[in-house]
Amino acid sequence: MDALVDALPAGRVVTDPDVADSYARDRTFVEPGKPLGVVLAATRDDVVTTMRWASEHRVPVVPRGAGTGLAGAATATDGAVVLSLARMTAIRELSPADEIAVVEPGVITADLDRAAREHGLMYAPDPSSYEISTIGGNLATNAGGLRCVKYGVTRDSALGLEVVLADGRILNTGRRTMKGVTGYDLTGLFVGSEGTLGVITSATVRLRRAPEQPPATFAAEFGSLRDAGAAVAAIMAAGCQPSLMELMDRATLEAIDEWRNIGLEPGTNAMLIGQSDASDSQAVVERMEALCVENGASFVAVSSSPQEAEELIGVRRMAYHAGERLGACLVEDVCVPRSALPEMVGAVEAAAARHEAKIFTVAHAGDGNLHPVFVFEHGLTEPPANVWAAADEVFTRALELGGTLTGEHGVGLLKRRWLALESGPVTREVQHGIKAVFDPLGILNPGKAI
């Protein structure tokens, strides 16, 4: 550690145990290991120096963004150095002509979007944590968000990366162009790799034209979660192309209502919030409204102003925080084919009842991505047996329906117990082979993702 302190500018290395512990955790209940210290990287050269030192001394490195992850991927391991990229906050370039931006990993997602909108553009990925999560963390987990139903996940906006490899070499992947098939897609490989292959120090990302007028938004209330799921399936089948389609169950709505008093009605067991940013957005929303009514909606309201629309979407963004107030949370994010959404919703409800588990369900419903939030007693470092049993059932059913264990949060530590259900032996062998090419010493975020 003395050698690392000497190699970096003053103030870059933190070894005080109490301060280091504050960088060792993410948003999960996972109890982290004890790191040797924290590097507060401010430049690419800081990252290069850290990785060369780590390779020489065989010290594990855990890359970290803002610590908003929900899978345990950024939690420290014993004897590791946490490499924080949060100080690398420069938007190096924003080109309206090419509709791209070049950004450092510590840039807050919402800040990039705001900078793009000054030029009539937008950065499409918008996870619920967009006001506090970083571009680097979004890239590491291939984050999605509320707009991904129309614009895709983070990988769909990543054109090229600057990556520091485990031995300190610098790798540039991808390009500035919208098209390009030279060689293997290394950009796509690093996006979603959870810091196990390299440390992203810069990204060239795609920007899109912002809508010329405010999107039209609706909120629909349903007597059952299944009816709401059927409405989503009908809306997508009708080709409405919503830019946002979010679903919340009764338990989630009750938690939000208890916290913020949203005026929840007794018969409302599910709420669907949808939005269109098309040029004829009002007509599209009216079509979605009619499909909600056809599928059993008890009430539908269309926003009359941008402020009202933001308030509706704000209800959805409160969901996780409302759950956190009531207990520790195991947040999962299974994804199923859109046609299977109603059945998957029913499976979550059945698992909650069978195992007497408290589960709040929210979903990026337009792309079949459900977030069952398993809530248990504060202070426990491990979910109780009934919660794990309910989670086992949810994951198994998602895979039976042709789905996946994680749509956007990543595997981290929390989902490793289910990996064998989705990834066969050949897949695992290939993934470990890729890991060995990029990180032969196994020092980059060991034990995570695969």
Q: What is the pLDDT of residues 63-86, one digit of tens each?
A: 999 999 999 999 999 999 999 999
- Which pLDDT score is estimated for 77? 96
Residue in 51, 89, 128 with CA at minimum distance from that of residue 408: 128
- Which pLDDT score is estimated for 199? 98
Residues 365 and 229: beta-carbon distance below 8 Å: yes
> What mean pLDDT comes out for the span 269-286?
95
> What mean pLDDT comes out for the span 422-450?
96
Inform me whether the pLDDT recorded for 305 exceeds 90: no
> What mean pLDDT comes out for the span 413-420?
92
> What mean pLDDT comes out for the span 437-443?
98
Inform me whether the pLDDT recorded for 341 exceeds 90: no
- Which pLDDT score is estimated for 128? 86
The whole-model pTM stands at 0.94
Residue in 72, 148, 205 with CA at minimum distance from that of residue 369: 148
Can you read off the two tokens belonging to residue 215? 């999107």
58 within domain boundaries: yes
Domain boundaries, position 250: 212-321
SS3 364: strand
Residues 143 and 69: beta-carbon distance below 8 Å: no
Q: Are residues 304 and 384 in the same domain?
A: no
Q: Are residues 351 and 432 in the same domain?
A: yes
Q: Are residues 48 and 114 in the same domain?
A: no
- Which pLDDT score is estimated for 225? 86
Average pLDDT, the chain: 95
Residue 190's CATH number: 3.30.465.10
Share of the chain above pLDDT 90, in %: 88
111 within domain boundaries: yes
Q: Are residues 96 and 205 in the same domain?
A: yes
34 within domain boundaries: yes
Residue 305's CATH number: 3.30.70.2190
Which of the four pLDDT bands, split at 50, 70 and 90, describes residue 357? very high
- Which of 209, 242, 259 is at the close of a domain? 209
Q: How far is Cα 341 from Cα 336, in angstroms, rounded to an integer?
A: 7
Inform me whether the pLDDT recorded for 109 exceeds 90: yes
Inform me whether the pLDDT recorded for 182 exceeds 90: yes
Distances, alpha carbon 374 to alpha carbons 86, 178, 333, 381, 395, in Å: 29, 40, 11, 14, 13
- Which pLDDT score is estimated for 312? 87
- Which pLDDT score is estimated for 320? 86
- Which pLDDT score is estimated for 248? 95
- Which pLDDT score is estimated for 393? 96
Q: Which residues pair with 200 in a beta bridge?
A: 163
Inform me whether the pLDDT recorded for 57 exceeds 90: yes
Can you read off the two tokens belonging to residue 310? 């933001």
446 within domain boundaries: no
CA atoms within 13 A of residue 243's CA, in its CB half-sphere = 20
Q: Are residues 277 and 179 in the same domain?
A: no
> What mean pLDDT comes out for the span 308-318?
89
pLDDT tens by residue, 212-254: 889 999 999 999 988 998 899 899 999 999 999 999 999 999 9
> What mean pLDDT comes out for the span 163-181?
96
Domain count, the chain: 4
Q: Are residues 394 and 422 in the same domain?
A: yes
Which of the four pLDDT bands, split at 50, 70 and 90, describes residue 24? very high
Q: Are residues 105 and 196 in the same domain?
A: yes
Q: Are residues 187 and 200 in the same domain?
A: yes
Q: Are residues 381 and 414 in the same domain?
A: yes
> What mean pLDDT comes out for the span 3-30?
95
Distances, alpha carbon 419 to alpha carbons 27, 91, 369, in Å: 21, 36, 18
360 within domain boundaries: yes
Inform me whether the pLDDT recorded for 332 exceeds 90: no
